[in-house]
Structure 1
Amino acid sequence: MSGRPTTWRRGLFISYPLRDSIATLLQNRPNPEVDVIVVTDGERILGIGDQGAGGLGIPIGKLSLYTLVGGIRPERTLPIVLDVGTNNAERLKDPEYLGWRHERVTGQAYFDFVDQFVQAVKQELPNTCLQWEDFATPHARPILERYRDQLLTFNDDIQGTAAVALGAILGAAQVAGRPLKDQQVVMLGAGSAGIGVADFLRAAMRDAGLSDEDARRRFWIVDKDGLLHSGRTDLTAEQRVYAQPQDRVSAWSSARNGIGLAGVIAKINATILIGLSTARGAFSESIVREMARKVERPIIFPLSNPTSKSEATADDLIRWTDGRALVATGSPFAPVPYGGRQIPIAQCNNIYIFPAMGLGVVASRARRVTDAMILAAARALGEKSPALTDPSASLLPALPQLREVAAHIATAVGRQAQRDGVAPKTSDAELGERVTATQWTPAYPSFAPSKK
């Protein structure tokens, strides 16, 4: 007995050495009917990194929220970890580690294994929604792009993060009185989550009337090497979409050595500042004050988590902007006392989106998850912003309202799925009834002796 607390483990471990038996492993699931799978490879678990097979706790937790918020029946969920090894030496040395004791499989062998998994899911569970969770940047987007048109699937870190951020921004833009098409967006962090937010925000700008080129020119994305611009040769294809023309920034004094966040804020009139960098304190007082000097209601979203990796604290942002900032964070922050009032801080937690997406696709019987469905989820979330009726309120609904909000979002998702031709047509009333009927509620049945 180790003295450690015992853990009830549930879920399916699919390890690389058993790659030729994945369909058989899936057949061992406890319930033949599965509505939602959440799968991880354990490489980018929250803010703690590579946990190998120990990453299974994340799919378990996510699916618990599918049930709590979305109303997905718990017995119709399946948490899975793809165990491709781990590069975490501490885990490999742990005698109680449950996973395959091997360094991570990489390259084409890794992608071939993922493909074997997907083909097995298509064979055994062709109508199940598959959510990818906590995959590292080099794998997350290629996997999503490869399979998004083959089965019912989405990536929470890319699309879920983007949708909740966009939903909060849509509410903030209305409160600030500046249309989305007039925003100048500065983003710190150019990984899969950051680019995902930019992609959906850009799509919303196009819907607001901008051309794609005009929308792209409103994004100023900064990574560890500085501003993305066309003169850089180290950018991925996804990052190059947002590279500013080099001649647009060539006169900036630090252009040769990389243009940092402070340089960008100094040169443009940024209205939105988003952080997905995990760089603690990157939104410094001087940067925030410079932004607030040029815009009345700056929209500032330090979205990195956990709190130890947040680009700024909510308290600092409120103080440095004299209470004018519209703030949402990736980590939880208490209301900030300022000017004799308490300013609530919205947390851009994906819990607002992924359970509702699951509910929407299950209730509508969707066959695919389209970008338009993600945008519909974001807009539906924005419609529920308390700040629209009370500018002093939070940008996002309170947690006790999550189940009600999830039903609203799910209905919007299902309606968009029908418009996109990936779900059977129904009336709005019938779709609403399906959403309500799909939401499971835990309740103990009441048994009473029969009366004679």
Structure 2
Amino acid sequence: MSTFHDLHPGPDGTINLRVPLRGHQILDTPMLNKGSAFSEEERRDLGLLGLLPPHIATLEEQLTRTYENYCQKTTDLERYLFLTGLQDRNEVLFYCLLHEHITEMLPIIYTPIVGAASQHYSHIYRRPRGLYIAYPDAANIEQMLRNIPYSEIRVIVVTDGERILGLGDLGIGGMGIPIGKLALYTLCAGIHPATTLPITLDVGTNNQSLLDDPLYLGWRHPRVRGAEYAAFIEQFVAAVMRVFPDVILQWEDFAKQNAATLLDRYRDRLCTFNDDIQGTGAVTLAGLLAACDVAGVPLHQQRIVMYGAGSSVHGISDQIVAAMVDEGLTPDAARAQIWLVDSRGLVHAGRTDLSDEPFKVAYAQPANCTDEWVRAEDASGPFSLTEIVANVRPSILIGAAAQPGAFTEALVREMARHVQRPIIFPISNPTSKSEAIPADLLTWTDGRALIATGSPYTPVFYDNRLITIGQCNNVFIFPGVGLGILASGAQRVTDGMFVAAARALSTLSPARHDPHASLYPAQTEVRHASRHVALAVAHEAQRAGVAAACAAEELAQRVDALMWEPRYARLLPA
């Protein structure tokens, strides 16, 4: 069962798979179970006679029945539990269902509902998936990695649960994130689910409500910090490199003080990236490039205010600078056009609290930058976000601070006074953390704003037209990046590969052909987008010398060969 990802249909379109299991062992294995769709021959040869209802269902019948059951759920959390339960029973049916209803179900299996599921993880836990590596078990990490049922793991997503979306420290509940991310690898880029592994590193939690919860499933201990934390991560990475030397290791939802540090520490030792930094940066850059095309003003001429200065803004800023440099600016000139605003106000060189945050130091505006600024009446203390917008007069405003409602009417109207097509991206997740609502942004800008959001929003009817709101969702980037890495055989992940991914995704923007259309492709097009991104990433890997060169046709064939389609195999006794 370790070679699922190598299986391809024969001349008649059938996939044959020999299995050593029988009876309930097969029914209890999600990658093998077909439920009521087992053929008469399979039921006879694999010890399934009498264990299933007599009717042999088609996949289409199963999909109809399953969707009917899904529609009977009355809350999003119930829908999430229904889908994860299906994933734990029958993975082929799970992915087929998602394919058929991707726009409806993507927000359920990932943002925003995965956030609520992670908050309640210990109360809705059903059955294990992935690995839980707790700090007290550090000496056994390699054994744990070898305990998983499939040996050919190609993609790992790992979290320590400290910064889950915009919800903060959820401890072991963070496991919902790597499980969801890897489901998207499969759904959106065809990475075979048997080659993926979600991992939670349980180093404790500082969330007192979790520590006090009698049902909490994690290690009941304050978070491990400092040298002990670093040593634990080193043990984990070293074990991964021994057991899975060719794996892609994706860091997910680590706190900002750890995210960049871990990426810098390990990026030259194995094939690794941080989706919160690099993936968010790339998908945001893709939307900005499309918006700049619609606005008719190139990126290097834009003035940008970033509300928030965490991991995601770090990645977005670096990607924007790289793109501006490609357009002819120097790195210093590009950084000068980005104004960061954190919880203490504008990031500038006159602040004394930036010494331990190299990212902020690199983007700090000059200490005297505000000397000639106009203040609001009766204002004192640090400049407010509205004051910063009024003085900087940005053409792009990005929200990644998880502060709902931060983009007020006064702020947005002030921005719109100075810009013909204001570009506004409130990208904080989940929906409850969004800095603004698209309908309000359109009203406050007289319909001129170019908008993308982190969580999904329904289309907005404004001025007798229906405006689709594009979702600045990493799902358009990281699955394709992973696919491109695997297809090219890249040994390392470079920043250039993410810029290439962003530019490739940007070319698919519907807004480039219709200025009232979404800045991002429809989610129904995500597999096409992932393939497009994968080819760009693979070519960039070759150009950068981290992958062996091959012909473009061969590279495309490799990408296509890796894109698994959910279909039942014909099971044969081993």
Unaligned runs of 5+ in 1: 448-452
Post-superposition Cα deviations, 1:140-176, rounded to whole Å, max 9, x if no partner, equal: 1111111111110000111111111000001000000
- Does structure 1 retain, via aligned residues, the 8 Å contact 2:210–2:216? yes
Partner of 2:92: none
Aligned pairs (5 A) from 1:42-81: 42-81=161-200
Kindly state the Cα deviation for residue 217 of structure 1 after the two structures are TM-superposed. Answer: 1.1
User: Could you tell me how far apart the structure 2 residues matched to 1:172 and 1:288 are?
Assistant: 17
Quick one: structure 1 residues 48 and 267, their matched pair in 2 at CA, closer, same or farther if it must change by over 3 Å? closer
Partner of 1:351: 475
- Does structure 1 retain, via aligned residues, the 8 Å contact 2:306–2:340? yes
Partner of 1:428: 552
Partner of 2:7: none
- Does structure 2 retain, via aligned residues, the 8 Å contact 1:153–1:368? yes
Q: Percent identity?
A: 55
Aligned pairs (5 A) from 1:292-371: 292-371=416-495
Partner of 1:102: 221
Residue 146 in structure 1 maps to residue 268 in structure 2: no
Query: What is the one-letter code of the residue matched to 1:252?
Result: W
User: Could you tell me how far apart the structure 2 residues matched to 1:164 and 1:23 are?
Assistant: 34
Count of aligned pairs between the two proteins: 446
User: Could you tell me how far apart the structure 2 residues matched to 1:363 and 1:406 are?
Assistant: 12
Partner of 2:247: 128
Partner of 2:512: 388
Secondary structure, aligned partner of 2:369: helix
Quick one: structure 1 residues 390 and 418, their matched pair in 2 at CA, closer, same or farther if it must change by over 3 Å? same
User: Could you tell me how far apart the structure 2 residues matched to 1:441 and 1:127 are?
Assistant: 23
- Does structure 2 retain, via aligned residues, the 8 Å contact 1:59–1:80? yes
- Does structure 2 retain, via aligned residues, the 8 Å contact 1:42–1:135? yes
Quick one: structure 1 residues 17 and 5, their matched pair in 2 at CA, closer, same or farther if it must change by over 3 Å? closer
Indicate the larger mover: 127-136 or 436-445: 436-445
Partner of 1:116: 235
- Does structure 1 retain, via aligned residues, the 8 Å contact 2:247–2:271? yes
Kindly state the Cα deviation for residue 259 of structure 1 after the two structures are TM-superposed. Answer: 2.3
- Does structure 2 retain, via aligned residues, the 8 Å contact 1:85–1:103? yes
Question: CA RMSD for the aligned pairs?
Answer: 1.7
Secondary structure, aligned partner of 1:257: coil
Query: What is the one-letter code of the residue matched to 1:266?
Result: A
Unaligned runs of 5+ in 2: 1-121
Quick one: structure 1 residues 71 and 93, their matched pair in 2 at CA, closer, same or farther if it must change by over 3 Å? same
Question: Normalization by structure 1: what TM-score?
Answer: 0.96
Residue 246 in structure 1 maps to residue 370 in structure 2: no
The runs of at least 4 consecutive aligned structure 1 residues that moved more than 6 Å come to: none
Partner of 1:450: none
- Does structure 1 retain, via aligned residues, the 8 Å contact 2:374–2:391? no
Residue 161 in structure 1 maps to residue 302 in structure 2: no
Aligned pairs (5 A) from 1:143-292: 143-235=262-354, 236-252=357-373, 257-292=381-416
Post-superposition Cα deviations, 1:349-395, rounded to whole Å, max 9, x if no partner, equal: 11111111111111111111100001111111101101111111100
Question: Normalization by structure 2: what TM-score?
Answer: 0.76
Quick one: structure 1 residues 14 and 302, their matched pair in 2 at CA, closer, same or farther if it must change by over 3 Å? same
User: Could you tell me how far apart the structure 1 residues matched to 2:317 and 2:175 are?
Assistant: 29
- Does structure 2 retain, via aligned residues, the 8 Å contact 1:357–1:410? yes
Kindly state the Cα deviation for residue 446 of structure 1 after the two structures are TM-superposed. Answer: 6.6
User: Could you tell me how far apart the structure 2 residues matched to 1:134 and 1:212 are?
Assistant: 28
Query: What is the one-letter code of the residue matched to 2:548?
Result: P
